Amino acid sequence: MLTSFLRPLLDPFTLLLMLLVLLASLWPASGQAALWVAGLTSAAISLLFFLHGARLSRQALWNGLTHWRLHGWILGCTFIGFPLLVLLGQPLLRPWLGEGLWQGLLYLAVLPGTVQSAIAFTAIARGNLAAAICSASASSFIGLLLTPLLVQLVLNTQGDAFPFWPAVGGISLQLLLPFVIGHLLRPWIGTWVQSQQSWLKRVDQGSILLVVYSAFSAAVVAGLWQSVSLMQLLGLTLICCLLLALVLVGTRWIARAQGFSREDEITLVFCASKKSLATGAPMAPFIFVGAAAGPVLLPLMIYHQIQLVVCAYLAQDYAQRPIKHDNAALSPTGEKN
């Protein structure tokens, strides 16, 4: 059990992510080097979303769409419940964290859920896998359009300006357009893309690492570590832990109050509690220009690691409990076969 709990912390990608933050802190890209890094990052992100579009299976989505009530709760928790929880804590959290980290926490709250980890944890815990595939994929796609709008809404409530249309234009050209093109080409390249999972994982992780290094380099050059204290980082970590705990407890309560099966409860818990670094990192530079993207990414990076550790333990705990009719996890509607 201890090994399962610690494995996400010892994951090579997690260690590389921490190393890139350290590297950007000691040797940030600036001047001409920053332009090269930005160009390479943009190309990697476009390639990533092109491949995601080619990999997305319409059949898997269609198989899960019939369970609309479960999907409604998952999307509601992801795009409504999360922001409300953070906004309710504004009187305490905003003065404590400072403006940059507070905006990062708001950004975290309006992001879509993960795809890979949500599905993987649902599978380990023996949940409704078809519904998880549908909800996680739909959340990721909807987030490309909805997240900029939600950022505008929550920042406008704080009286801050937000370049909504430039952000939407940048996201559409660099993220959404490659995604749509990749999906349209799926009949010709889909099989090959599906057979290249290890290579796709490297592109996925490599693009995130480039975004993190680029964003943190700009933030460090602008004085990030002079404006963010150790106490703020510790406080942010505590807040992320509390936020995840509230969402996990809340989604489990919702599932039982709604009379969902054990398999559907697992899907709701794991799909509605995740926030996607793979989507959030590429979108941040379009929404928070320049050095502002660095502190904005800190809450997402911290929450991302915490959710992996906690949900790895929780998935193992679910898996060890006796469940009747395990084949219900393969049912699109979550009904007992």
Of 318, 311, 330, the C-alpha closest to 9 is: 311
Burial label for 313, CB within 10 Å (0-12, 13-18, 19+), is middle
pLDDT at 18 over 90: no
Q: What is the pLDDT of residue 294?
A: 72
Q: What is the pLDDT of residue 130?
A: 73
Cα(293)–Cα(131) distance, rounded to whole angstroms? 33
Burial label for 198, CB within 10 Å (0-12, 13-18, 19+), is exposed
pLDDT tens sequence across 228-254: 888 888 999 999 999 999 999 999 999
pLDDT tens sequence across 302-322: 898 788 878 888 888 888 877
Q: What is the pLDDT of residue 121?
A: 86
Q: What is the pLDDT of residue 254?
A: 96
Higher pLDDT, 14 or 298: 298
In the 8-state DSSP scheme, what is residue 228? Answer: S
pLDDT tens sequence across 186-245: 889 988 887 877 777 777 778 778 877 887 787 787 676 777 888 888 999 999 999 999
Global confidence as pTM? 0.76
Of 146, 116, 153, 134, the C-alpha closest to 72 is: 134
pLDDT at 56 over 70: no
pLDDT at 336 over 50: no
Q: What is the pLDDT of residue 208?
A: 73
Q: What is the mean pLDDT of residues 31-39?
A: 85
Sign of the C-alpha dihedral computed for residues 58, 59, 63 and 64 taken in this order: negative
Radius of gyration for the alpha carbons in the chain, expressed in angstroms and rounded: 19
In the 8-state DSSP scheme, what is residue 196? Answer: T
Q: What is the pLDDT of residue 326?
A: 42
Cα distances (angstroms) measured from residue 4 to each of 44, 175, 314: 31, 34, 10
Q: What is the pLDDT of residue 105?
A: 94
